[in-house]
Structure 1
Amino acid sequence: MKWAGSAVAVCLAMSSFVVSPNARAHPHGWIDLSVRVITDDQGVVSGLHQTWRMDPFYSLVVFEELQQVENASLEEGLDQLGREIRDNLAAEHYLTEVKINGERQALGEVSEYTAMERDGRLVFMFILPLETPQPLTDALLSYQVFDPTYYIEVVHEEEDGQPQDDALILHGEPACELSILPADPDPEMVMQAALLDKDESGEPGLGRYFAETGQVDCR
């Protein structure tokens, strides 16, 4: 079982079996995101535990395809799918940027991950380590998770139009202020996205302007 397709869809290991993008408006799918920032008792951050819930349509097609694979159980298919998602995301820096006090942080390799079915949705969970753990004392950590081409939209888990309380949590010390800032693209970027045909993705970098920003403010 091998997946193929365009840049971001390859990362999600979905593009070889979704319906034609001509059938859907842009962006072509979405991910519901939740993040747990991992720190130790000294307030040193070591990574982000991310949970991605793929949208119901993608999830349905994925599960149908996995069930059609001969001589393989759904669990075996999900295990292989998880490995391929991880491997493909690695080439795209896991679609994640992390900054501390405005300085972008190098990311480590993901070794802890899993793909599963939960309430009819495909869920991919992984721990994204920082290459070098950093103290959060008197620091501001921020992150964005986005598809550079805006083929897939990534939004924090929300309810009634607002991020859920558990969409961003801090595990460990210190006590910090947590917030999720909405995207605020300028009109030029909005127009650029609106002009895309239904079968097009944006130029690399477009997705950044539509990305929410998670913040952990320990200053």
Structure 2
Amino acid sequence: MIRRFFGVILVLCVGASAASAHPHVWADIRTSIMTSPDGMITGVRMEWTFDEGYTTFALDGLDTNGDGTYEPDEIKPLTDENIANLAESDYFGFMRQNERVLKHGKVTDYTQIYENNRLTLAFVFPLETPVDPRKGVFDYKVYDPDYFIDFGYVKDDPVELEGTLPAGCSWELKPMMTDEELEAKRNFLAQQPVDWVNQTGEDFGSLFARPVVVTCKS
């Protein structure tokens, strides 16, 4: 069995289109805004806890010693493969400043654990170049552009700050769009030509994602 991170999606969703997409994998997520000692934003720490269905699929055959548990060394090959394959989709992370998409670097500090019948993948998603939040609004989203994976923030402590932002700067996890806002966005995207490219990074999946936004008082 091929254990690509997208294995479940490929099995369940072959032939599906973004217009009719609905999720087949669910992930409860937490994120952390990471800063340097001088207040520059350096990236985002991700923590994704997957549903039991995906977990069962992904772990099939990995209990190599047959003891009924999944030790770190048994899960590591899966984790390495997950991280390698996630690169194809930019790790489902989208960071922007002043509505311009920012380049990310290579992920670091990645690990995966199995607990309470669910897998949790964690990693650092760094910016290629740190940014100064005082130079414009910084925001990020975690989502699957095709909406086959539903990333949803946990209720308690969904976002944290690792480090310190400059004086006058703060962050906020924004709510989902209202039905009216969502319908307006859908109509807008439906009217664009097939070769349309939005420099702000907005696409179908972004409609269902909650942004974390960092702003600074002038």
TM-score normalised by L of structure 1: 0.74
User: 1:216 — aligned with what?
Assistant: 214
Q: Does 1:119 align with 2:126?
A: no
Summarize the alignment of residues 130-169 of structure 1 with structure 2, pairs less than 5 Å apart.
130-137=127-134, 139-158=136-155, 164=156, 166-169=157-160
Q: Secondary structure in 1 aligned to 2:108?
A: coil
Distance 2:89 2:28 in 1: 19
Name which of 169, 172, 177 aligns with 2:170.
177
Name which of 176, 193, 205 aligns with 1:207.
205
Q: Secondary structure in 2 aligned to 1:61?
A: helix
Q: Secondary structure in 1 aligned to 2:123?
A: strand
Q: Secondary structure in 2 aligned to 1:93?
A: helix
Distance 1:57 1:187 in 2: 34
* Alpha-carbon contact 1:66-1:74 (below 8 Å) kept: no
* Alpha-carbon contact 2:185-2:207 (below 8 Å) kept: no
Summarize the alignment of residues 38-187 of structure 1 with structure 2, pairs less than 5 Å apart.
38-67=34-63, 74-137=71-134, 139-158=136-155, 164=156, 166-174=157-165, 176-184=169-177, 185-186=182-183
After superposition, the Cα gap between the structure-2 partners of 1:39 and 1:2, relative to the gap in structure 1 and judged at 3 Å, is same
**Offset at 1:99?**
0.9
**Offset at 1:178?**
2.4
Q: Secondary structure in 1 aligned to 2:134?
A: coil
The residue type equivalent to 2:98 in the other structure is N
* Alpha-carbon contact 1:3-1:15 (below 8 Å) kept: no
**Offset at 1:34?**
0.8
User: 2:25 — aligned with what?
Assistant: 29
User: 1:196 — aligned with what?
Assistant: none
- In the alignment, structure 2 segments of 5+ residues that lack a partner are 15-20, 190-201
Distance 2:135 2:185 in 1: 36
Q: Secondary structure in 2 aligned to 1:212?
A: coil
Distance 1:187 1:77 in 2: 47
Distance 2:13 2:50 in 1: 16
Q: Secondary structure in 2 aligned to 1:137?
A: helix
What is the number of equivalent residue pairs in this alignment?
191
**Offset at 1:140?**
2.2
- In the alignment, structure 1 segments of 5+ residues that lack a partner are 159-163, 193-203
The residue type equivalent to 1:125 in the other structure is A
After superposition, the Cα gap between the structure-2 partners of 1:88 and 1:171, relative to the gap in structure 1 and judged at 3 Å, is same
